[in-house]
């Protein structure tokens, strides 16, 4: 068995050193082989690094793992080779985790579930390695420490912090229990995510022509094609019943289109209920996807992890790596913001209720009416609709205009890489290179995968594929990023047309890409975007959203898909006037999620699902003004906090939005396409990565600490 795995090193695409990953060549069997080889290799590396030249008996105390003084560890002989070893694993693992998100086949899912425990055990063991921990301490206490670069010193201090968060100081018995908890959590969060994906695409609905009044034509065309394909493939349907209808599922483009535009209240209700009950016991046909018990188990293990490390609760544990430092600071921030948002939200709800009664014939607003009536109200108030704007935002034009904005702001040149020069996991994937400055220095590449499809997780995200890193010997490894969205795919010869909300999504994820690709440090643990605290990492992404509704930038990203005509001045003015439409209601929705998440993780005891749901109801009573579905089980698909790393950190979106509002205020004063300000933002924010503290980076650019008032002003609160 050993020889078979080693032989696979010759052909295993996950282990080959190529300019770009060989995504399409990866087979499920490659995953197990590559992970096994790389983890064993890393384990040997750590063992060798910790073995003093004079022999283990003279260099260490076998009983305590204590390193004696003559075992002289430095950045060069300990941290640099360790970082290189970790980067080799990271590059392969990023391919595996990415494919799991964008091409989640049953075969890949099975092998991923098998290797996940191996990876969890390895990183837990590294985090609890007392000898490695003491070696880092020795480097920090050495006379050479002060001669290291600030980024190197920050890496060392944060690594020592992370050792403690991994349980390095625990007793042997407690270390075993901690490792067991971490392993179980990794399995639970993976299962949670799989259940959401299966529940989203497992639900289908055949609609008749009479039901789909108001739904955009491109959505109907896609649904009609899906129905034809499904009916042809179905062996159970009799020929006489194969009338062409529309087949819908719950992917985001479809769901949003139904809730925004479908005139049928019954159709909207059907979709609202189906979406809100995903991965719950309220889906009788898919009880195997129920996440209720998984939520209980995740909470139980998080409470145990916090307790075993000496924290009062998991929220305190989470804040150990965040910009915000105390639970009180987070709760105060959210509560203060809620006071302002709720005042405006009540006014907005009263306006919407009256409008629904007078113009939509709806006497009492239901949850499935909110989005639909809000869109109608927006049209009446500002004489502009999402459908009227979409033709001016064909995806190709938006993407090229976005790159022009990046050039004007930061001096970036972004060029597409020819398809024959790289491998892809799907035919729609594209690759771009990013250059900086007059010298056109290549800084990295990013893939774009923009269309929804089965076996692809919903939502939008950016992730690291490779990290900027100067390897041993001086060779510079350039970063690569993934930019993933779930827009509706083009139908026929027409391009995908984006709504204003989808514009923001694209700009948001592009902002993440810039932070990952433009960093200039040479150390992987200072350049990897995953090292940036979540309440700081959402700052550059939300910052870019500001360019979605400004006159100067709208001229650059718009162009009617048939005529090429720019967005007319009249529509630009209407779009700007509607920028803060229902901002109170939208902000309250985010506060609801953030407060629930944080209060849930402030608990110091495990919670049953019923108690968790009651907490959500309490939070809603505190901040919500809109009606809620009685059958709502949004918790069961709340991936951000139960599978995507935002536990006790969902507040990060609002916190970072405050940072972005303060930063954008600098541009408002000087000009939103001001190159001087853009250069300052590039150098002080985008290029620093996690090499300095995020608050220091923010203050270096803005010249002051962040103020909530900037966010209130920007959002009209």
Residues noted as catalytic? 509
Beta-bridge mates of residue 416? 432
Supply φ then ψ for residue 676, to 5 degrees.
-65, -45
Per DSSP, helices labelled H in 166-216 are 172-202
The gap from C-alpha 283 to its chain's centroid, in whole angstroms, comes to 27
CA–CA gap between residue 444 and residue 467 (Å, rounded): 9
Handedness of CA 524, 526, 529, 534 (dihedral sign): positive
Beta-bridge mates of residue 469? 477
CA–CA gap between residue 305 and residue 166 (Å, rounded): 9
Beta-bridge mates of residue 448? 430, 483
559 CB-near residues (< 8 Å, 6+ apart) = 392, 394, 397, 401, 565, 566
CA–CA gap between residue 196 and residue 177 (Å, rounded): 29
Both structure tokens of 644: 């995507």
334 CB-near residues (< 8 Å, 6+ apart) = 591, 594, 595, 598, 651, 654
Find the Cα–Cα–Cα–Cα dihedral 604, 606, 611, 614, rounded to 10°. Answer: 40
Contact 604, 303 (CB under 8 A): yes
CA–CA gap between residue 402 and residue 384 (Å, rounded): 23
CA–CA gap between residue 35 and residue 30 (Å, rounded): 8
696 CB-near residues (< 8 Å, 6+ apart) = none
């Amino acid at each position: 068995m050993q020889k078979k795995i080693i032989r696979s090193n010759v052909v295993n695409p996950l282990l080959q050193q190529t300019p770009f990953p060989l995504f399409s060549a990866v087979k499920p069997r490659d995953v197990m082989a590559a992970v096994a080889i790389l983890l064993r290799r890393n384990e040997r590396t750590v063992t060798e690094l910790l073995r003093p030249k004079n022999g283990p008996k003279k260099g260490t105390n076998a009983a305590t793992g204590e390193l004696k003084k003559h075992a002289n560890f430095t950045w060069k002989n300990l941290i640099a080779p360790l970082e290189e070893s970790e980067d080799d694993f990271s590059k392969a693992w990023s391919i595996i985790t990415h494919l799991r998100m964008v091409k989640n086949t049953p075969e890949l899912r099975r092998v991923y579930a098998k290797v996940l425990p191996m990876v969890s055990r390895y990183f837990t063991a590294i985090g609890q390695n007392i000898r490695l921990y003491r070696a880092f301490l020795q480097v920090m206490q050495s006379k050479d420490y002060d001669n290291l670069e600030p980024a190197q010193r920050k890496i060392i201090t944060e690594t020592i912090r992370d050792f403690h968060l991994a349980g390095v100081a625990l007793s042997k018995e407690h270390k075993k229990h901690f490792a067991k908890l971490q392993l179980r959590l990794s399995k639970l969060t993976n299962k949670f995510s799989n259940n959401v994906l299966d529940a989203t695409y497992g639900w289908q609905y055949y609609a008749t022509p009479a039901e789909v009044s108001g739904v955009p034509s491109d959505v109907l065309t896609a649904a009609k094609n899906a129905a034809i394909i499904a009916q042809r493939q179905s062996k159970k349907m009799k020929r006489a019943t194969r009338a062409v209808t529309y087949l819908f599922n719950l992917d985001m483009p479809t769901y949003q289109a139904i809730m925004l535009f479908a005139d049928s209240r019954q159709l909207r209700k059907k979709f609202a209920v189906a979406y809100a009950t995903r991965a719950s016991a309220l889906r009788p046909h898919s009880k195997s996807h129920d996440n209720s018990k998984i939520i209980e188990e995740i909470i139980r293990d998080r409470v145990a992890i916090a307790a075993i490390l000496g924290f009062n609760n998991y929220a305190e544990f989470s804040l150990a790596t965040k910009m915000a430092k105390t639970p009180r600071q987070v709760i105060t921030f959210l509560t203060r913001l809620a006071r302002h948002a709720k005042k405006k939200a009540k006014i907005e709800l009263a306006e919407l209720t009256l409008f629904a009664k007078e113009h939509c014939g709806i006497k009492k607003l239901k949850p499935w009416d909110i989005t639909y009536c809000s869109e109608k109200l927006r049209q009446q108030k500002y004489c502009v609709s999402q459908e009227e704007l979409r033709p001016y935002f064909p995806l190709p034009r938006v993407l090229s205009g976005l790159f022009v904005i990046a050039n004007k702001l930061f001096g970036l040149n972004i060029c597409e890489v020819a398809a024959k020069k790289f491998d892809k996991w799907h035919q729609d994937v594209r690759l771009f290179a990013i250059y900086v400055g007059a010298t056109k220095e290549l800084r990295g590449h990013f893939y774009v995968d923009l269309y929804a499809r089965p076996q692809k997780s919903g939502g939008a995200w950016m992730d690291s594929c490779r990290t900027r890193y100067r390897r041993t010997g001086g060779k510079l490894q350039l970063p690569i990023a993934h930019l993933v969205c779930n827009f509706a795919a083009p139908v026929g010869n027409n391009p995908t047309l984006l709504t204003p909300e989808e514009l923001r999504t694209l700009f948001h994820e592009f902002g993440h890409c810039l932070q990952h690709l433009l960093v200039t440090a040479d150390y992987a643990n200072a350049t990897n975007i995953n090292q940036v605290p979540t309440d700081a990492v959402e700052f550059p992404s939300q910052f870019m959203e500001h360019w979605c509704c400004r006159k100067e930038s709208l001229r650059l990203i718009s162009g009617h898909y048939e005529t090429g005509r720019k967005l007319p001045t009249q529509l630009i003015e209407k779009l700007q006037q509607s920028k803060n439409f229902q901002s109170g209601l939208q902000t309250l929705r985010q506060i609801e999620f953030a407060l629930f998440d944080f209060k849930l993780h402030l608990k110091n005891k495990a919670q049953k699902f019923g108690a968790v749901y009651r907490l959500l109801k309490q939070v809603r009573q505190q901040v919500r003004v809109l009606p809620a579905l009685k059958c709502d089980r949004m918790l069961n698909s709340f991936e951000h906090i139960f599978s995507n790393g935002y536990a006790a950190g969902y507040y990060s979106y609002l916190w970072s939005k405050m940072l972005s509002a303060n930063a954008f205020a600098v541009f408002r004063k000087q000009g939103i396409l001001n190159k001087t300000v853009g250069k300052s933002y590039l150098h002080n924010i985008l290029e620093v990565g996690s090499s300095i503290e995020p608050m220091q980076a923010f203050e270096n650019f803005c010249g002051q600490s962040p103020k909530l008032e900037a966010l209130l002003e920007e959002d009209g609160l």
